[in-house]
Structure 1
Amino acid sequence: MLRCVLGALLGASFIAPAAAQLPRQFPATALRGVFMVVQPPEVQLNGKPARLAPGARIRGAHGMLQMSGSLIGHKLLVHYTIDSSGNLHDVWVLTPAEAARKPWPTTPAEAQHWSFDWGAQHWTKQ
């Protein structure tokens, strides 16, 4: 029994780091911006007031969910999606490698005029 538990823990220690290194896939609806939590659910997006949607998800650069209260006052480069009410629904804090992917649209108008290769996670201006 003890061997089974130790074997499972040892196996998980090899799998977890490999899984953490997989590149994240962002939807074509994700825009790039500067995000700061003011007082949840109130935030700033690109220096303007915005609001987190009920049930909004914020994923840190490590891929784990983060509570909005732990990010108060931190300006972060993110990808985000907006729900039908105009509130932020999904927020991903970018890693340096993700932030280096350029260009990335910052407005819906840019996204409409550019083309997105989901597999490569690359936008092309047209």
Structure 2
Amino acid sequence: MSAYTLFYDHACPMCRHEMLRLKRLDKLNIFTLSNISAPDFELTTAPASMEKMQALLHIRRDDGLVLIGVEAIATLYRAIGKGWWTGPLIWPATRGLASWIYARIARHRYGISVLLGFNPACRDGVCKL
């Protein structure tokens, strides 16, 4: 079984919630989270430029293969045994639309986080008043 490094924006409340949720579901401990918004994030270890990683989720498999966007999401869910619902993300007939929608969500993730009720002042269960 492959292991994966997930390059995600921890400063985005919705992104942080989803990545931490995926990590909790990772019973085989095959995911490593890499916070691209951390001050000490080392770009030299990254699979792409900061601009590209901020635009779409990037994951790197332990064999070096890099997956991006909806393909990355589908791969992660398949890896934890929950891939059954990700079919529409990668079916040839719907992949283009799924990628287009995901890119728009990723571009507006901070605003969408607020609309969905994710508090940007909360991190790891602690909220600033």
Report the TM-score range of the alignment, normalised by the length of the smaller protein.
under 0.3
Q: Could you state the TM-score of these two structures normalised by the residue count of structure 1?
A: 0.24
Higher strand share: 1
Query: Which structure has the larger Rg?
Result: 1
Higher helix share: 2
